[in-house]
Structures are given as structure tokens and as C-alpha cells.
Amino acid sequence: MRPVPEYKIGPVPLFSAIRFARDPLRFLRQGFDECGETFKMKLFREFIVTRDPAFFRHVLQQHHKNFKKGNSVKMLRPVLGNGLVISDGDFWLRQRRLVQPAFHRERLLELFLTMGELTAAFMEELEEFRGKGAIDIDAKMMGITSDIALKTLFGNMNTEDKEQIYRQVSRTQTYLVTRVRKPYRLPLMAINGEDRRFKSDLAYFNSLVYDFIRKRRLSGETPNDLLQLLLDSTDEETGEQMNDEQIRDEAITMFAAGHETSATGLSWLLWELSAQPEIVARIRKESVIFETVPGFEQLTKMPYTRQVVEEGLRLYPPAWTMTRESTVDQHIEGYHIPKGSSIFMSIFELHRNPNLWQNPTDFNPDNFQAETVKNLAKFNYLPFGAGPRICIGQQFALMEMQLVLAALVKRFDFVREPGFSVGMHPQIVLKSTNGIKLYIR
């Protein structure tokens, strides 16, 4: 067995932790440049970091039962409870079976109509910004994907509650990431109000969701939304249904894991396309088949737009990393991996690995032409993960992003603000450092 090379910048682990917190992507890139495809690093604890697709295959598929969710994911437990993103073992498998029907093709076709209606209304809202100053496009994408997530989950929700949820999601993400990356700030967070505000936000959100569940149970109504599906889901083996807490956990997981990833992916796509007129022209050529928003069958006839979305998810994967913890001693690619090891798998670096992709930092939708995809190794591209725990909402997200992008590009030009640059600073998802500012023309 060969030793895992170690990347360190000094004798004190705190120095590495501080540098990682400031710029995780740069820190990891330097580690890969110095050590190769896999290395270990010590922050406040030790991680084995990899961008090797063989590692991903071993951990996520071939020997997935020898791993559990990493500690960094467990930071989400106060928000997501024991939802699919957090849970493990037999409980996870049971919940997966109960939730899976929500994303069958027939259900997606029904939800697609809601997506289309909300997107058409969103186009009209954006008209007021045409020809005016630059806007934060990330905030706008967060608005439309939140609307889609909330409408498909709960049906109608008042504007005040929606706006409150939008604010809470941003605050909560910043709070949780700070706790993980900067644990030395924990005492300060306890006295400066951050802990108190987080608890208040969570209490509000819990109250809102439980109220939706209670009212739906009492109403006797069965509308076509995901909440109703969760209420109706029955385990075929036991005949059991989910209790209110389980429904709450899965509903919040669907909302939190679903809307922000799509919004972030769309924001990065519009940033790229604002400098790619040839690609925009090809999307518009496909978009002649619809007027305001594409129908489901029309969407299937727009393969290039789908390629653009897939390339955006390669270059800017919203779920930029995943972690697992080894539950046994094992060997991976010639390395001895002790029980308890934390495996940090960088999706971002996997997708930009120069050993796997030609010109990996160029935005090139031809990477996903049908003939090219036939030769694409399965574990070189993992925007939704892989194996049994692959994202349950994968098709929902791809459908949503393609629909919204096609409608936006057909109707508007997006233009960069002169001199404005965008940096990447990953939180739970791959966010920008200072927002993405674009003019709408």
C-alpha cells in the first residue's frame, strides 16, 4: 500500500483551516497541483481529498455500504432533520422508496405545467428591468426556482411567507457554513445573536410547514402537489405511512436541496452566456418552436439547450463537493483507508480535471453531444452524484433549468456590467463572491 500524500502549508493545522475557509477552491486546486489526484489535508480534522473518478466509483457505487454520510453533511440536520440527504441505512432506504413516486415521469409531466405557468409570469416580471440598471441575477433566479419549489410542494403560499423563506435560506446557509469552516467563531455566534436568529428562523419555518400539513390533513382535499404525495405514500411492505415529522423533513429537504441548486446553476449559465453570443444564437434557433415557454414535448426537441445546461453543471456544479465516512478499514486505488476516515470528493475538481477533459475550463456544450456522451466515462461527470444515493430530483432539476433557460434566452439579452468580475466562493452550493450582476436588454 502506498501512503496518501499530504498537502500542508505549515506546521500548524489552523493555518490551513484559515486559508481553506477564505478560498476553498484555490486551496484544493493547489493541493491537487502539488500532490496529484488524491491527497490528505488537516484542517480541524483530517480529510482524504480526491478528484479521481475511480475513488468516486468505489465510494458511491461499488462499496457504498462501507460508507456513511460525512460529518459536514450532518451540520444540516437541524434544518433537514432526517430527510433523504441526511439519513442512512434502512431508514434511508424506506424513505427513498416512499418519496420516489414523486419523481416518476407521469408526476413530472403534471409538475411541468406548474413550472411553465410560473415561468411565463416570471418573464413578465423581468420586463420591468429591461433597459435599466444591472440587477443581481442570482436573486432573480432564486425567486423563480423558489416559486416553483413552493408551488409544486405546497400549492399556494402568500407573498409574505415566500419573502420570509427567501431571506431565511440565505441566512441559514451562511450560518451553517460558518459553524463548519470557522469553529473558532462559535463562542462569538452564541453572544452576537447569530445562534438566536437561526433558532428563530428555524422555528418559523417549522411552524409554517407543520401548519400546511395539519391544514391539508383536516381539509380532506387532495390537490396535485408533492405534499399530497408525501401524505399518501405508503410502504408496500409494511403498509405504514410517514408521520408529520417525516413529512416535514422530506418537504424541507425537497425545497432546500432543490431550489437553490437550480437557481445557482441558472445564474452561472446566464453569466457564461452573456459572453457567448454564438451559443445564445444556437439556443434561439431551437426556441422558434415555442412562443413564451416550451411545452414538454417541445423541450425534448431542443437537444442543444440541454447540452448547454449539462455543460453549465460541469463547469459550475452547484453541489460542488460531497463527503463520506468510511465505516470499515479498506483499500481504495492502492491507498489504505482506515475506518473513520473522512473522504472529501471534489465534484468541482472532477469536472475540471485536465486528465479527464480537454480544455477543462472552457465552456463548451459540445462536450455533451450525443456521440461524445457515448464515450464519456460514467464517473467523470457527477453533477447529481451517483450510485444508490444519486439525487432523486435529477430529472426535475434538468427539466426546470432547461425550461427556464430556454424561455429567458428567447426573450432577453443578458449583458455584463463593464468592469464587473465574478468570483466563486462555495458555501453549501457553489455561490459567487459578490453576486452576478447583469443588464437585461
Predicted confidence (pLDDT) per residue in 205-234, tens digit? 888 889 889 989 888 888 888 888 888 888
Contacts of 87 (CB under 8 A, 6+ apart): 95
pLDDT confidence tier of residue 108, bands split at 50, 70 and 90: confident
Q: Does pLDDT of 12 surpass 70? A: no
Contacts of 242 (CB under 8 A, 6+ apart): 95, 98, 230, 231, 233, 250
d(CA 148, CA 300): 20
The topology under which CATH files domain 13-440 is Cytochrome p450 (1.10.630)
* Rg (alpha carbons) of the chain, rounded to whole number: 22
Q: Does pLDDT of 307 surpass 80? A: yes
What is the sign of the dihedral through the CA atoms of 92, 175, 141 and 344? negative
- The pLDDT value recorded for residue 85 is 86
Q: Does pLDDT of 16 surpass 80? A: no
Least confident of 15-24, 143-152, 170-179, 388-397: 170-179
Q: Crossing angle of helices 303-315/394-411, nearest 10°? A: 110
- The pLDDT value recorded for residue 212 is 87
